[in-house]
Amino acid sequence: MFNLFVGSLFEIYTTLLGWSFYNTFYTLLSITGVLYFPFLMALYTNWSKPYESQEGKAASVTSQRRMQVAVVTLLLAFSFAVLPVIALNIGDISYHKVCADGGATVVTDHTTGTETTAYSDNIGDFSDMGEVRIPLYWWFLLSFSSGINNAASAGVACVDDIKGLDQQLRNLTIREPSLREEYTRFANECYLPAKSRLFAGLNGRLGEDFQNYVTNQLNLLAPDGDPDPLYIGSDFMLQTPGFYEWSAYTPETCATTLSGCSFRARRTVSHWPYNATRDVNHSEADVTAGLPGMPYCDEWWETTANGPDGQPLGLKYKLLNSTERASTDITDWDDDMGIIWNTRRILENTYALTFSDEELERLTISRYTDREPPPMTDDQFFRSAEVVNNSLSAGGYAAGLAVAAESAALPILGAAATYAAIDVANTLKDFYLTMFILKSAAPFAQAVLLMMMYALMIFYLVVSEYDLEAILLMTFLILAVRFFTPLWDIADYLDARLFSAMYPDPLNELSTTLTQGINRVILDMVMTVNYIVVPVVLFAIMGMAAAKLGKAANAMTPLTKPIERTGSGVGNIPKR
């Protein structure tokens, strides 16, 4: 008969459940006669009060008038707000998101209760509940509030869930033991030794020529403060001989060069084929036994070749292929497209920028491996203000790193700052998780609260004796709770905009959990206000409106005084 729009997919089913319980309780109270208790109380009250205060004839006139008003009022309230008359089917309830894009209203995720969803697969079609009906007044109210909510949400600009993406990336972790072991090996046998050589080169401990060599390479491959050397798959490492890069040398020719030999696996790596030029440490017995090869660091990381098992040999592609699909925490997440595709869409829509596949892969891998050993938190040292200032004053990023590395105090200060950042991050981890759960759980709490309000409304109406003021109060409460949906849409918009303003460089700042700082705490606290305090304020406003409503009812009392005075006057006429 009508289409009712709700605030979440879950609410489709709780709405029908709530009104189904209402029907059940209505039938129960009707059979027991409790449903008609307000009529009896109205008759008794309007008979006893005049009889106690007035003479017989006057009391009968007053009682008659009061009963006429009470009966008409009760019948109207009962017929429109209590008696379930309009059929409500699961297909009448829909969920969709409404927002504005360039002035045009965008409606997405339109879903009805008859469509297959994660909930309907288990809940069913409610055919076992029989016919569910809803009173005419509440049908009108829900339809009216649907229009109000849609109009309010349509005034909010469309945004992508950037905070949800951030949390999703934080939750990534390597679950495959073999892949975790290989990643740890690569970090210990390639990345950490290469980074130590970088430190030593910048400090001049490997000679002035090597220091100039590293500085020139950094200025070429990591200009303008680019933190590329801090990434495990760094372009600097991959393209610089003496670190990962081996294309110009072999183990027999690299020792006499300025760069020295680059790094490689220290022992065989599963599925890697033997290469006679590279695997000079293999004995004839090893070759005969088919022992796997020991890859160079650059090919170990980025080769596109497949092994004998048909799986990628490059660690980079193993990590990308094993990255878990995102959960349903983000409402517009496309599980079929994968995390890289969804990350691109959300970041490009939020920041109005274009990102390359390599940049997105780097972001994803950084977060994917962030919780794995060995810890790379000392990289925070390179992000210090001293390094940035030195890079501006000393002729480039490489020079800035060199000046910072030569200071005896800076590494200590950098480490202290790093451990402080780690401590803050660990302390606030539960807080961030709580905020994320709160945001995800809010629509569920709203749906359950509305379901209980629908289900128990019949008891409220009976106890209030079908009072119009009580019905109006319940009207305000339902409107308030349903209005949480556009309030949360506004909160999501503010959250995305403030987050993008706080982290203008997502590729670098979102790639580490060390972005958990005081500004992030403030942002989450502000968003907590939007998700919790604002609905509470709305309830307070509704409470004040209810108080005004009570005063308005009391203000109607003088209108009944003439009737009472007339009755009293008639009762006080001297008898003869």
pLDDT in tens, 21-55: 999 999 999 999 899 888 887 777 766 666 556 55
**Whole-angstrom distance, CA of residue 533 vs CA of residue 384:** 37
| Terminal-residue alpha carbon distance, the chain | 66
**The token pair that represents 198 in the structure block:** 């970088």
Reported as a single tens digit per residue, the pLDDT across 57-74 is 555 666 667 777 777 888
- Burial (CB count within 10 angstroms: exposed 0-12, middle 13-18, buried 19+), residue 19: buried
pLDDT for res 398: 53
Percent of the chain with pLDDT over 90: 24
**The token pair that represents 200 in the structure block:** 């030593």
pLDDT for res 130: 73
Least confident of 21-35, 199-213, 299-313, 530-544: 530-544
Reported as a single tens digit per residue, the pLDDT across 221-266 is 876 556 667 788 888 899 999 999 998 888 888 888 898 899 999 9
Strand, helix or coil at 245?
strand
Return mean pLDDT, the chain. Answer: 77
Least confident of 77-81, 340-344, 570-574: 570-574
**Whole-angstrom distance, CA of residue 72 vs CA of residue 418:** 75
Residue with token string 């660690």: 315
Position with higher pLDDT, 236 vs 521: 236
pLDDT for res 57: 56
**Whole-angstrom distance, CA of residue 148 vs CA of residue 483:** 8
Strands 4-6 and 93-101: parallel
pLDDT for res 575: 43
Percent of the chain with pLDDT over 70: 73
Alpha helices in 323-408 (DSSP H): 338-351, 357-368, 385-393, 397-406
Reported as a single tens digit per residue, the pLDDT across 385-427 is 344 344 333 444 455 455 444 443 333 334 444 445 555 555 5
Least confident of 90-94, 181-185, 272-276, 328-332: 328-332
pLDDT for res 383: 41
**Whole-angstrom distance, CA of residue 210 vs CA of residue 198:** 10
Say whether pLDDT at 332 is over 90: no
Say whether pLDDT at 150 is over 50: yes
Least confident of 24-38, 81-95, 300-314, 326-340: 326-340
- Angstrom distances, CA of residue 113 to CA of 10, 94, 350: 10, 7, 31
pLDDT for res 168: 79
**The token pair that represents 564 in the structure block:** 């009472």
What pTM value is reported for the model? 0.70
Nearest-10 crossing angle of helices 192-203, 208-221: 120
pLDDT for res 483: 92
pLDDT for res 537: 81
Reported as a single tens digit per residue, the pLDDT across 109-140 is 788 877 766 666 656 556 666 788 999 999 99
What is the number of alpha carbons within 13 Å of residue 551 lying toward its C-beta? Answer: 6
